[in-house]
Amino acid sequence: MGEVTDYIAGVGEPSRAMLERLRERVVSLVPDAEEGRSYGMAAHRYRGKPLISVVAAKHGNSVFPFSADVVAAVVAGLDGYESTKGGIKFSDAQPLPDDAFDGLVTGRRDEIDAGPKKR
């Protein structure tokens, strides 16, 4: 098993089912993604870079695509979700819509495929 799978196994229900569903979505969207760690969190990695991490907590969940630009692009289409520069918070009562999660995954994948940004 990998880091993400191990993390999910240690989480109680109902969060475990949600994390497993999102893990499956990542694998279907980015089949080359690998399980690993980034910034101390279990995360999927792609081409050696952090792709996405979903963290379950007692009082809500957060998703981190490791890109402020990707978060900003997806948050622009969401109403009623708390966000930070690096992630979006959601709950069992207010789950993250599939299209928003998919946008985080594919947006980050596309950033990685495009290579480093020139500043």
- Domain residue spans of the chain: 3-113
Q: What CA–CA distance (Å, rounded) separates 93 from 97?
A: 12
Averaged in consecutive runs of 10 residues, what is the pLDDT profile of the chain (119 residues)? 92 92 97 96 97 92 97 95 95 93 98 78
Contact 88, 62 (CB under 8 A): yes
pTM over 0.85: yes
pLDDT at position 115: 87
Q: What CA–CA distance (Å, rounded) separates 10 from 80?
A: 29
> Would you give the DSSP letter of residue 94?
S
pLDDT at position 119: 45
Q: Return the CATH architecture of domain 3-113.
A: Alpha-Beta Complex (3.90)
pLDDT at position 59: 85
